[in-house]
Amino acid sequence: MPERIKDFDQLVRVLKQARKNGAASVVGHYYDPYDSDNQQCQELQTIGDSIVGALDDNLLNRSHQAGFRVADFRPSFAGHGAGSEDPYVFGKQCYSSDASKDMLPKWMGGGGGRQALALGCGPHLNNAGTTASARPIFQEYDNAH
């Protein structure tokens, strides 16, 4: 199943069922946690752009085919990744060599992910990121009603 992502298939099935039960849904794009103007983040941003772009394209196509609205997080997150002056993720810096080495499992000589968080490379949303992701969702919801 090279062109199909099973998790996205399941997501669409669940959202369709929720719609049948009266729920309104807006599907959110992924965000690039390393979208930053910081030069130290360039390698991780390039990797993130590639991965997030592929996921978003797939998610967008499936969502539109199923009739769901999509909230694009990319404009809100532009320049607010790890290493930026105003990050929307917990990561305050992004040293690709440290983060990638640490993300390797311990059996492969890596740190299993623990050190990346201590180094400030955390890709998860902080309060500002949660707020920034909510705005496009509410906007799409309002546009539909």
Residues 21-53: pLDDT tens digits? Answer: 999 999 999 888 888 888 878 888 888 888 889
pLDDT of 139 higher than 90: yes
Q: How far apart are CA 68 and CA 127, in angstroms?
A: 26
Q: How far apart are CA 123 and CA 82, in angstroms?
A: 7
Q: How many other CB atoms sit within 10 Å of the CB of residue 24?
A: 11
CB 89 within 8 A of CB 129: yes
Q: Which residues contact 8 (CB under 8 A, 6 or more apart)?
A: 58, 59, 62
Q: For residue 132, what pLDDT is reported?
A: 95
- What is the helix (H) or strand (E) element at residue 69, kind and residue range? strand 69-71
